Structure 1
Amino acid sequence: MIPTTPVAVKNEIANPAPLGLCAFGLTTVLLNIHNAGFFDMNAMILAMGIFYGGLAQIIAGIVEVKKNNTFGLTAFTSYGFFWLSLVGLIVTPKLGWAPKPSETAMCAYLSIWGVFTLCLFFGTLKLSRALQFVFASLTILFFLLVWGDASGNETVKHFAGFEGIICGLSAIYTGIANVLNEVYNRTVLPIGAK
């Protein structure tokens, strides 16, 4: 007779959030160094947008499914696809596949992402202070970029770049804090956890 006692399987999947946060943060910093006026748009930013900001965040989001984290799934996969769509908006006109989006179209694109980010910000109110800062600063960034595109004001666009660098650095900090706090099994870098 075969015993029918269920066997408990322990599910120990690594935390994908640091990967997603670092992918978002590093790519955001590099794009916003461009927005701040330090260098032109180039293949380095586009490659980061596809392979790290895009694909790494999508992978992190998919792993969040196994962690039963709906917020992480929604945020990481959405922003991963944001990066891929942004690269598409830049590259497809250059390939002759579609016309370049107008300023009005870019304002609509950035606005809808700003509204989406604001909605996710409310979810962070039950999470860490560090994540609250990341999402609040990202919401501000999107609306500064809308203002810059709507007004055509280069000063606003450059200011948005500096604000975006801060947003990206806060995501990197939060990701690295998660890694180090887990590795050392204590708070090495505080994130203001709830």
Structure 2
Amino acid sequence: MTHTHNAATAFAINDTTANPAPLGLLGFGMTTVLLNLHNAGMFPLDAMILSMGIFYGGLGQIIVGIMEWKKNNTFGATAFTSYGLFWLSLVALIMLPKTGYIQAPGESAMTAYLVMWGIFTGALFIGTFKMNKALQVVFGSLLVLFFLLAGGDFTGNQAIKTIAGYEGIFCGFSAIYAGLAQVLNEVYGRTVAPLGLVRDPG
């Protein structure tokens, strides 16, 4: 008599790939700073900002989101991919009407666009309460930024947009700090730049 023995074998995969989050934070942060220098009135919306929006802020974050998906990080995959696509969609909103085939969005449409991104960011901000204080600052300031920009479009008040520009510069630099801190802490094998880790009360 032949006995068949079915055994389930579990394989543990040791992930030795690098942390992609700093790349995504830097792509987001540097592009955000440059766009909001424009919003603050320091220079016009030109090819430099749009190129950053397509490549570093856009494609760069999408690549990071895919890498986070491979690392089984749902938050990172959702956030980085979404904000990468945000930058690409923002560039499209600016460039497509210039073709003459598509109507430029009105103030009410841009308000709706920014409010939806603000709601999305608010949900992710709640998620950062389980992460670290550096990310709480990034997402909290980004939440404020989206609603300031929405308020500026809704009211047509240039002063609100200027305030949003300076707040956005802060948001961008907070993301740059969070990204570079992770790089330096890993390189030195110790906390060079603190991220403010959240302690689980459990």
Q: 2:63 aligns with which of 59, 66, 85?
A: 59
Partner in structure 2 of residue 44 of structure 1: 48
CA distance in 1, matches of 2:175, 2:101: 34
* Aligned residue type for 1:180: L
The alignment status of 1:146 with 2:156, answered yes or no, reads no
The alignment status of 1:30 with 2:34, answered yes or no, reads yes
Q: Percent identity?
A: 65
Partner in structure 2 of residue 164 of structure 1: 168
Q: 2:16 aligns with which of 12, 18, 33?
A: 12
Q: Secondary structure at the match of 1:52?
A: helix
Q: 1:81 aligns with which of 76, 79, 85?
A: 85
Residues matched between the structures, number? 190
- Assess if the C-alpha contact under 8 Å between 1:13 and 1:66 holds in 2: no
TM-superposed deviation, 1:6: 7.8
Q: Secondary structure at the match of 2:104?
A: coil
CA distance in 1, matches of 2:12, 2:85: 36
Query: TM-score, length-normalised on structure 1?
Result: 0.95
Partner in structure 1 of residue 6 of structure 2: none
Structure 1 residues 105 and 8: CA distance shift in structure 2, 3 A: closer
- Structure 1: 5+ residue stretches without partners: none
TM-superposed deviation, 1:9: 4.7
Q: 1:90 aligns with which of 91, 94, 106?
A: 94
* Aligned residue type for 1:156: I
Any residues of structure 2 matched to 1:109-188 within 5 Å, and which?
Answer: 109-188=113-192
RMSD: 1.2
When Rg is computed on C-alpha atoms for both structures, the one with the higher figure is 2
* Aligned residue type for 1:98: I
* Aligned residue type for 1:140: V
- Structure 2: 5+ residue stretches without partners: 1-8
* Aligned residue type for 1:97: Y
TM-superposed deviation, 1:7: 7.2
CA distance in 1, matches of 2:76, 2:175: 14
